[in-house]
Amino acid sequence: MGNVTASLEELAIEGKTKNIERLASLQVKKLWVFAVNQKQFEHILTYARPNILYVYEMRVEDLSSLQKLSDLQQLYMCWNTKAKTLWDIAYNKKLKSLLIDDFSKLEDLTALSKCPQLNTFYMGGGINTTMKVQTLQPLAALQHLKKLTLMNLKVKDDSLEPLIQLKNLRELSLSNQFKVEEYTKLSVALPYTECKFFKPYVYMNDAIEGKNIMVIGRRRPFLNSKTDAVKMQKYEEQFKKLQEEYKALVESTM
């Protein structure tokens, strides 16, 4: 980092980059960090104060150094094989956008409830690894959330119900890994939210062995839109019935 100018807006470094101390005098707004272990991560965040931070390929169990970044607005972290919990996100009062991707050991999302100002959140497993979390309950506190993506997750309590609280949500992307009842409930509770799984099935661009329809709900079949019209109608009716049952349940408790 010897020849870097002081007016840099954007910078990419690695864990093993030398002269990290120079970050203290640089006004780097957007920082990319590649391949860091615990010690390197802490060293970098002793000096860097970005608004936008990307970290890719981490061996970092303790994420508490992120608490120093009081001006952080966007945080993107991919591929961490160590962290089991998050950090005290209450320190990041300006954080609006958060991505947590392929954290193979992360189970506890409790800290997320301390970030009510968040408006965009992505969480997902890797291409070949499902991310296993205890519950989505902490997400219920994210009342300003407008865009939420949850991909390749295994949720221990098997429930999407905490998302019912997210009345400001405009865009929801999910993978097809929950029971159909979870999707029907949300489709009723979040009428202003756009989600392609708020219907009985979706058409796929790339057919699988001639089947171009994915029925919504875990362990449900793929169908052929030409030859399986009767089955498609059955799933439509079932989806509608579940929606009506949930509506009636909600109305009876009001």
Q: Is the pLDDT of residue 234 over 90?
A: yes
Question: Beta-carbon neighbour count of residue 188 at 10 Å?
Answer: 17
Show the DSSP H helices in 48-160 as ranges: none
Tens-place pLDDT, residues 127-172:
888 999 999 999 999 999 999 999 999 999 999 999 999 999 999 9
Residue 146 lies in a domain: yes
* C-alpha separations of 81 from 14, 37, 75, 111 in Å: 17, 10, 18, 19
41 phi/psi in degrees, rounded to 5: -60, -45
Residue range 63-74, pLDDT digits in tens: 999 999 999 999
For residue 2, the model assigns a pLDDT of 53
Same domain, 43 and 116: yes
- Say if 137 falls within a structural domain: yes
pLDDT one-digit tens code per residue, 19-63:
999 999 988 999 999 999 999 999 999 999 999 999 999 999 999
Print the domain residue range for 126: 10-175
The pLDDT of residue 185: 98
Let me know if residue 214 belongs to a domain: yes
In terms of DSSP bridges, do strands 153-155 and 131-133 run parallel, antiparallel, or are they unpaired?
parallel
Residues 65 and 126 in one domain: yes
Does 181 fall in a domain? no
